[in-house]
Amino acid sequence: MRFFTLRGLRKRAALAAAFGTFAASLIAATPLATSAAAASTMQQVTNFGSNPGNLAMYEYAPANLSTNAPLVVALHGCTQSASDYHAHSGWQKFADQWGFAVVYPQTSTANNSLSCFNWFDSTKATRGRGEAASVKQMVDTAAEQYGSDRNRVFVTGLSAGGGLTADLLADYPDVFAGGAVDSGPPAHCATTQAAASGCQHNDQDLTPKQWGDKVRNAYPGYTGPWPRVAIWQGASDITVAPVNGTELRDQWTDVWGIGQTPSSTRNLAGNTTESIYNDTSGKAAVALYSIAGMQHGLAVNPGSGTDQCGSTGIFYLNYICSSYYTAKFWGLDTADSSGGSLPAPTGLAVAGTTETSAKLSWNAASGAAAYHVYRNGSKVASVPGSAYTDTGLSPGTSYRYTVAAVDSSDAVGALSSPVTATTSGSASRCYTDNNYKHVQAGRAHPSGGYTYANGTNQYMGLYSIAVVHTVKETSLGQFVVADSGC
């Protein structure tokens, strides 16, 4: 890929020269902090996993960050860098103000000639593979380092970073509670470089269900909860056409099972129209922000006002502080993402386990109408009482549980302290079936007509009932081909 993509070799060459000079000046003006930097500076993390996507990891956290705080992943656009995005986007202001950490993945010209994230490449932007897997490793590393609330991990990105953001929300709905796509295409709109330009510039003529299927097929078998998604689109964007905002709206409202008619609409600063699409409980699930007159870039609004942030520059356009409204949409301005006032349940304990289940109990909380149960950061149940048995688990596997009380208005309170339940038996379990059945059971995923094992991405041949393999689940969600013996 030579740009996000660009049309025409002449246009590519001109933009490459202009953007390359701009990127170099930004990096010189805003140097990255070293690993020895003090708190409240951006620092590089060099050891965060196998890093199959060959990305660099930078992070920022305010001094005295509390445990159980949210975590935001912010992805730069083409020709940009982590330091550039940190300096211009406004996320530092709200990290300091509301108390959360920010991770900034950074790509390079070694991955893409204009330092674009490869959102269009199915070998790099799908679950367990390439850049997507590297970002997941960054989340795991930062969450462990800061003691982050795994129920409040979010991802946002601009342009190509927005494209990868959309992919990540589809690939890892069990990791990200919400996302924001700024001037980017829908999730998995393109799976090859050749198709990328069409996604950027043209209506793909897909129904909401067809768009939603691209999300559902990214992690087969997953049933929710789904991320809450904010979409930012300039109405005069000629790099990523405004239809992308509509397609993203169609995609995520379909995933949520809600219609494409907004629940509410209002006018905001900077010629911005906000359209909200509520879930069945009346809570905002999808938000579309259309900015009249804005071309390609991230909307910022420099100033000291509550709803102002960022600084202007190429691709940082003075209209409205998108980071402020995104953070508000996610609930980062409250003590809990739901804003509930109920205290955390106490006494959460593991009452017993089997090979495939874990029984939990906790003390009833005053004012609770129900309780949400979370496994490894994702909600798995809402129950009326103070006990729950989680089933369908893998043998010999550890799971982390937390519980939150829910009041009569469906506001979710604070999370309990976590407990770990380890099922009995061996962690390895084998399954023999055709590739189609493996995909349907969530043990593998299709890409380009072929099948790959979930977690390890081992090649399994054609996506067909005629190809049969034995796969071994070595840990939760990790499968290897074991045809020679299990």
Between these two residues, 1 and 104, which has the higher pLDDT value?
104
DSSP calls for 38-88: PTTS-EEE--SS--TT--EEEEE--TTPPTT--EEEEE--TT--HHHHHHH
What tokens were used for 238?
A: 């000629």
Verify that 220 and 245 share a domain, yes or no.
yes
Verify that 159 and 292 share a domain, yes or no.
yes
pLDDT of residue 343: 86
Q: Would you say residue 394 has pLDDT above 90? A: no
Verify that 209 and 235 share a domain, yes or no.
yes
Question: What backbone torsions phi and psi does residue 193 show, to the nearest 5 degrees?
Answer: -60, -35
Question: What backbone torsions phi and psi does residue 98 show, to the nearest 5 degrees?
Answer: -110, -5
Helices (H), ranges, 172-266: 193-201, 208-216, 243-256
Between these two residues, 65 and 158, which has the higher pLDDT value?
158
pLDDT confidence of 376, banded at 50, 70, 90? low
What tokens were used for 363?
A: 């003390």
Domain termination residue (choose one: 330, 363, 388): 330
Strands 387-390 and 358-361: antiparallel
Q: Would you say residue 4 has pLDDT above 70? A: no
Q: What is the pLDDT of residues 89-121, one digit of tens each?
A: 999 999 998 999 999 999 999 999 999 999 999
pLDDT confidence of 427, banded at 50, 70, 90? low
Q: Would you say residue 399 has pLDDT above 50? A: yes
Answer whether residue 336 is part of any domain: no
pLDDT of residue 291: 98
Q: Would you say residue 42 has pLDDT above 60? A: yes
Q: Which of 181, 305, 312, 165 is nearest to 234 (CA)?
A: 181
Answer whether residue 274 is part of any domain: yes
Q: Which of 148, 159, 386, 394 is catalytic?
A: 159
Strands 56-60 and 412-415: unpaired
Q: Which residues of 324-339 are buried (b: 16+ CB within 10 A; e: fewer)?
A: bbbbbbbbbeeebbbe
Answer whether residue 344 is part of any domain: no
DSSP calls for 363-382: PPPTT-SEEEEEETTEEEEE
Region label for 352, one of left (φ > 0), alpha (ψ between -120 and 50) or beta (otherwise): left
Verify that 446 and 413 share a domain, yes or no.
no
Q: Would you say residue 334 has pLDDT above 50? A: yes
Residues 245/231, Cβ–Cβ less than 8 Å:
yes
What is the span of the domain harbouring residue 399? 349-422
CATH of the domain at 393: 2.60.40.10
Verify that 172 and 306 share a domain, yes or no.
yes
Answer whether residue 343 is part of any domain: no
Q: Would you say residue 24 has pLDDT above 60? A: no
- Return the ∠ at Cα 426 (arms to 425 and 429), rounded to 5°: 115
**Could you confirm whether 113 is annotated as catalytic?**
no
Between these two residues, 376 and 239, which has the higher pLDDT value?
239
The partner residues of 383 in beta bridges, in order of sequence, read 371
Residues 90/137, Cβ–Cβ less than 8 Å:
no
Helices (H), ranges, 307-401: 322-330
Q: Which of 371, 380, 375 is nearest to 397 (CA)?
A: 375
Give the separation between CA 8 and CA 16, rounded to whole angstroms.
12
Give the separation between CA 301 and CA 287, rounded to whole angstroms.
19
Q: Would you say residue 178 has pLDDT above 80? A: yes
Verify that 222 and 357 share a domain, yes or no.
no
Answer whether residue 466 is part of any domain: yes
Residues 167/119, Cβ–Cβ less than 8 Å:
yes
Q: Which residues of 168-180 are buried (b: 16+ CB within 10 A; e: fewer)?
A: bbbbbbbbbbbbb
Which CA distances in Å does 3 have to 52, 204, 321, 350, 454? 22, 20, 26, 52, 30
Domain termination residue (choose one: 372, 396, 422): 422
The tally of domains found in the chain comes to 3
How large is the greatest C-alpha to C-alpha distance in the chain, in angstroms? 67
DSSP calls for 395-434: TT-EEEEEEEEE-TT--EEEEPPPEEEE-SS-S-EEEEEE
Q: Would you say residue 27 has pLDDT above 50? A: no
Question: Mean of the pLDDT values across residues 293-299?
Answer: 98
Q: What is the pLDDT of residues 181-203, one digit of tens each?
A: 999 999 999 998 889 999 999 99
What pTM was computed for the model? 0.66
- Return the ∠ at Cα 103 (arms to 99 and 107), rounded to 5°: 160
Between these two residues, 66 and 13, which has the higher pLDDT value?
66
Question: Which residue bears the tokens 């998604």?
Answer: 229
CB count in 10 Å sphere of residue 437: 14
Q: Would you say residue 319 has pLDDT above 70? A: yes
Residues 104/59, Cβ–Cβ less than 8 Å:
yes
Q: Would you say residue 254 has pLDDT above 90? A: yes
Give the separation between CA 120 and CA 195, rounded to whole angstroms.
8
Answer whether residue 4 is part of any domain: no
pLDDT of residue 312: 96
What tokens were used for 98?
A: 């509301």
CATH of the domain at 165: 3.40.50.1820
Q: What is the pLDDT of residues 282-292, one digit of tens each?
A: 899 999 999 99
- Name the least confident of 4-13, 277-286, 344-353: 4-13
